[in-house]
């Protein structure tokens, strides 16, 4: 008896350990420099899409139709080449000392040819119309070619009130802005005429001299794709459970800087493949569809395209589970839309309590913060599940594979599998 128990325990450990090794391989690959941050420079998104198609094929999960790809287009602003800012002749590090606004335009030739001294305007200056007009007049008289806004002297509602002003000036002149918070980058869908550069308060010399060389390219009708795979139910069934995760990330900010997007969302994409691997070997009562979305970071573009061009009738989706930020979980998971679908949320809670899986399954209301949103808007019952834990790297260059613990990955996998098994 004890011998068979030991063999069973060793088999379980070996299977779980093998799963984590596979998850780590997939996540590390998706985060590698060769994937260019899975964005729109060097076709990083398409490299990732080809990799995912290959992985689904390797598992033995077929495309829903003839191809894994569902193609669509979007407009996107990119930074494919030079990303250079010097302060007093010293190069600053992109992603650490400075970032450009995702909608930045290219630097003008006169900034590439010679150094410049930006004209300083503070938040306090902006709040006093008389002072601001005087500053603008002086700036014109001395022929300054760049403004540097310092809004670190205001906060709260005042800062929010003034926050759009730097971008409005970047339509007419290159702009810099001093910030005292961590950088959080994103994807631009339009382009300003000139650069808008954010620089950290801890590094900036407010009276310094700067050199700037920023290349920006706006691409209209960029071609990208969702990846869709499918497993039919063990008995013919009209209803489908859908697992989704966005595989895209922020891409590159210049030649030498890219955003790995490990937690967001290489980890969720790996979980998608874990689900595919399980249900390939263990057919469910429902059809299971897997969708890896592109364009999430550009504004939920891929999921919007899917619901507008659904390969299956949306009314036939029994339930959708959207996976994002799956690399930790030490503090549990949050479930968006829990208040809309109480019965299904209680099922998650029951499974978690019964099997003693996660520290917490936290309830949250509806939010338009990931790809579940468009499905919910069309009446499809859906959860968006993300982990909570000590890893706070988000939309920055530090969201690396090495920062992921995967401490609760197996427990989350168990929770999701049991959820599908018990779904009525």
Instruction: Identify which of 60, 72, 69, 77 has the alpha carbon closest to the alpha carbon of residue 188.
Output: 77
Other C-beta atoms closer than 10 Å to the C-beta of 110 total 11
72 shares a domain with 89: no
Domain boundary (163, 184, 214) is at 214
204 shares a domain with 162: yes
186 shares a domain with 252: no
pTM beyond 0.95: no
Instruction: Identify which of 247, 189, 228 has the alpha carbon closest to the alpha carbon of residue 370.
Output: 247
Q: Alpha-carbon distance 342 to 360, whole Å?
A: 16
Residue 1 has pLDDT above 80, yes or no: no
Q: What is the CATH number of the domain that holds 243?
A: 3.40.630.10
112 shares a domain with 69: no
Domain boundary (173, 193, 214) is at 214
Count of residues making up the chain? 424
Q: Alpha-carbon distance 193 to 206, whole Å?
A: 24
Query: What is the three-class DSSP state of 421?
Result: helix
261 shares a domain with 284: yes
Residue 251 in any domain: the answer is: yes
Kindly state the average pLDDT of the residues 148-166: 96
331 shares a domain with 254: yes
Residue 264 in any domain: the answer is: yes
Residue 14 in any domain: the answer is: no
Sheet holding 119-122, edge to edge: 98-100, 196-200, 175-179, 147-150, 119-122
Residue 5 in any domain: the answer is: no
Domain boundary (195, 214, 233) is at 214
Q: What are phi and psi of 365, to 5 degrees?
A: -80, -175
Q: Alpha-carbon distance 250 to 39, whole Å?
A: 5
Residue 1 in any domain: the answer is: no
């997007």: which residue's tokens?
A: 261
Other C-beta atoms closer than 10 Å to the C-beta of 168 total 11
Q: Alpha-carbon distance 195 to 218, whole Å?
A: 13
Residues 291-348: tens digit of each pLDDT: 999 999 999 999 999 999 999 999 999 999 999 999 999 999 999 999 999 999 999 9
Q: How many domains does one find in the chain?
A: 2
* Dihedral sign of CA atoms 363, 366, 372, 377 in order: positive
Residue 142 in any domain: the answer is: yes
pLDDT confidence of residue 113: 83
Residue 11 in any domain: the answer is: no
Residue 15 has pLDDT above 80, yes or no: no
227 shares a domain with 158: no
166 shares a domain with 301: no
Residues 35-93: tens digit of each pLDDT: 999 999 999 999 999 999 999 999 999 999 999 999 999 999 999 999 999 999 999 99
368 shares a domain with 303: yes
98 bridge partner residues: 94, 199
260 shares a domain with 167: no
**Which strand (E) or helix (H) includes residue 198?**
strand 196-200
Q: Which residues contact 383 (CB under 8 A, 6 or more apart)?
A: 319, 320, 321, 322, 335, 336, 337, 338, 341, 344, 345, 348, 372
360 shares a domain with 282: yes
Residue 6 in any domain: the answer is: no
91 shares a domain with 104: yes
Domain of 149, in residue numbers: 83-214
Q: Which residues contact 302 (CB under 8 A, 6 or more apart)?
A: 72, 224, 226, 246, 248, 293, 294, 295, 296, 371
Residues 219-262: tens digit of each pLDDT: 999 999 999 999 999 999 999 999 999 999 999 999 999 999 99
Average pLDDT, the chain: 95
Confidence bin at 383 (pLDDT 50/70/90): very high
Residue 4 has pLDDT above 90, yes or no: no
């Amino acid at each position: 008896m004890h011998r068979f128990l030991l063999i069973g325990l060793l088999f379980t450990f070996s299977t779980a350990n093998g799963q984590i090794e596979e998850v780590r391989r997939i996540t590390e690959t998706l985060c590698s420099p060769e994937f260019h941050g899975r964005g729109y420079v060097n076709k990083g998104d398409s490299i990732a899409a080809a990799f995912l198609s290959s992985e689904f094929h390797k598992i033995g999960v077929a495309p829903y139709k003839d191809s894994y790809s569902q193609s669509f287009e979007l407009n996107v602003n990119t930074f494919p080449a030079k990303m250079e800012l010097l302060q007093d002749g010293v190069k600053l590090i992109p992603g650490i000392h400075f970032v450009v606004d995702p909608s930045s335009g290219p630097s003008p030739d006169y900034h590439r040819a010679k150094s410049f001294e930006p004209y300083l305007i503070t938040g306090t200056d902006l709040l006093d119309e008389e002072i601001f007009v005087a500053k603008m007049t002086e700036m014109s008289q001395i022929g300054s070619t760049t403004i540097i806004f310092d809004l670190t002297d205001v906060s709260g509602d005042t800062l929010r009130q003034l926050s759009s002003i730097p971008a409005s000036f970047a339509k007419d002149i290159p702009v810099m802005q001093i910030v005292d918070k961590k950088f959080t980058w994103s994807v631009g869908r339009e382009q300003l005429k000139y650069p808008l550069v954010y620089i950290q308060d801890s590094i900036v010399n407010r009276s310094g001299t700067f050199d700037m060389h920023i290349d920006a390219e706006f691409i209209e009708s960029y071609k990208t794709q969702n990846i869709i795979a499918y497993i039919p139910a063990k008995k013919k069934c009209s209803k489908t459970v859908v697992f989704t995760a966005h595989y895209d990330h922020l891409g590159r900010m210049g030649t030498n800087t890219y955003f790995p997007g490990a937690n967001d969302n290489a980890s969720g994409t790996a979980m998608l493949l874990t689900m595919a691997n399980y249900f390939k070997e263990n057919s469910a009562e429902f059809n299971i569809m897997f969708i890896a979305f592109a364009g999430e970071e550009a504004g939920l573009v891929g999921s919007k395209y899917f619901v507008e061009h659904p390969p299956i009738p949306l009314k036939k989706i029994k339930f959708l589970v959207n996976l994002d930020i799956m690399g930790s979980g030490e503090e549990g998971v949050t479930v968006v839309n829990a208040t809309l679908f109480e019965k299904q949320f209680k099922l998650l809670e029951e499974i978690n309590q019964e099997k003693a899986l996660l520290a917490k399954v936290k309830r949250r209301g509806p939010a338009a913060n990931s790809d579940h949103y468009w499905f919910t808007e069309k009446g499809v019952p859906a959860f968006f599940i993300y982990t909570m834990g000590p890893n706070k790297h988000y939309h920055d260059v530090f969201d690396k594979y090495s920062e992921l613990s995967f401490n609760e990955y197996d427990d989350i996998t168990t929770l999701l599998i049991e959820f599908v098994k018990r779904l009525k």
